[in-house]
């Protein structure tokens, strides 16, 4: 489970990107964060992963507060937290299988992996994850040859190789066509349910949020505007979220 309490982020230029933001994502739940440009969505994910150091607040991953950690302790504590990016961010010249297996590197600190090798059991497991995202047939192919949708599925398989409890996704369908976007969201929905992952997904596509999310959080100026189950979310509230941006 992921719990964010009173998360605040003020950039050095004085801009307040997150202002006391609270959020809980339970195991098996898919929560979508909606918001206009500059609302603080990406900052939220960057703070949760500690790629950015928040100005204040707590980030609880299970019973560990990531906000107070650094260095090796942070690396260890962050292992159950996987991230899928807007672009797949694969190592293009490595095989699809190696890219997926590299998600498991955090659990292996030996000489072999430090020299660029990958444990045989992780390669076997990686094949299984690729099968899970429907791309086992492409295991031997170079990552650079994949389509956008395929690459994003491989990135999800890499995240699974990390054996996460929480999966963050930063606009994972932004650069995909409608069909590929549906595939990815369906996959995230299934992983939340079947693999008992807590999935936090930042999206721009309102219809995808309605179709796949358990809960939707609206974010504006770093503050929560609404946090509602999908079935209770009024269309008007979402429209207002984006109208204020246009204004």
Q: How far is the CB of 139 from other proteins (least distance, A)?
A: 17
- The kind and range of the H/E element at 21 are strand 16-25
Q: How far is the CB of 124 from other proteins (least distance, A)?
A: 18
Residues in region 180-239 near other proteins by CB under 8 A? none
Residue closer to other proteins, measured from CB, 51 or 137: 51
Pick the stretch among 7-15, 87-95, 210-218, 220-228 that binds other proteins (CB under 8 A).
87-95
Query: Please, are residues 152 and 184 in contact by the beta-carbon 8 Å criterion?
Result: yes
Q: 5, 38, 62, 85: which one contacts other proteins (CB under 8 A)?
A: 85
Residue closer to other proteins, measured from CB, 10 or 108: 108
Beta carbons within 8 Å of 82's beta carbon, 6+ residues apart: 103, 159, 160, 162, 164, 166, 167, 168
Query: Please, are residues 42 and 219 in contact by the beta-carbon 8 Å criterion?
Result: no
Q: How far is the CB of 42 from other proteins (least distance, A)?
A: 13
Q: Does 115 bind other proteins (CB under 8 A)?
A: yes
**Would you tell me how many other CB atoms lie within 10 Å of the CB of residue 89?**
15
Q: Does 89 bind other proteins (CB under 8 A)?
A: yes
Pairing of strands 2-10, 56-61: antiparallel
CA 129 centroid distance within chain: 17
Q: Does 136 bind other proteins (CB under 8 A)?
A: no
Beta carbons within 8 Å of 32's beta carbon, 6+ residues apart: 201, 202, 203, 208, 209, 212, 213, 215, 216, 217
Q: How far is the CB of 37 from other proteins (least distance, A)?
A: 20
Q: Does 152 bind other proteins (CB under 8 A)?
A: no
Q: Does 75 bind other proteins (CB under 8 A)?
A: yes
- Which residues in this chain contact other proteins in the complex, by CB under 8 A? 49, 51, 75-76, 78-79, 82-83, 85, 87, 89-94, 98, 102-107, 109, 113-116, 155, 158-159, 161-162
């Amino acid at each position: 489970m992921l719990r964010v309490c009173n998360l605040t982020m003020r950039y050095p230029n004085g801009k307040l990107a997150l202002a006391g933001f609270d959020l809980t994502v339970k195991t098996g739940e898919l929560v979508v964060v909606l918001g206009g440009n500059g609302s603080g969505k990406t900052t939220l994910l960057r703070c949760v992963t500690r790629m950015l150091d928040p100005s204040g607040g707590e980030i609880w991953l299970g019973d560990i507060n990531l906000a107070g950690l650094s260095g090796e302790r942070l690396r260890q504590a962050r292992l159950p937290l996987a991230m899928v990016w807007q672009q797949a961010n694969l190592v293009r010249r490595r095989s699809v299988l190696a890219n997926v297996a590299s998600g498991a590197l955090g659990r292996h600190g030996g000489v072999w992996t430090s020299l660029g090798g990958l444990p045989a059991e992780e390669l076997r497991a990686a094949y299984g994850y690729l099968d899970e995202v429907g791309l086992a047939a492409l295991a031997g192919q170079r990552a650079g040859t994949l389509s956008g949708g395929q690459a994003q599925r491989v990135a999800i398989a890499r995240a699974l190789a990390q054996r996460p409890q929480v999966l963050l996704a930063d606009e994972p369908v932004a650069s995909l066509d409608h069909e590929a976007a549906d595939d990815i969201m369906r996959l995230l929905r299934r992983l939340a349910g079947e693999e008992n992952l807590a999935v936090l997904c930042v999206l721009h596509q309102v219809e995808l949020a309605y179709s796949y999310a358990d809960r939707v959080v609206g974010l504006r100026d770093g503050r929560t505007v609404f946090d509602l189950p999908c079935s209770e979310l009024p269309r008007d509230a979402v429209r207002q979220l984006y109208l204020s941006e246009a204004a």
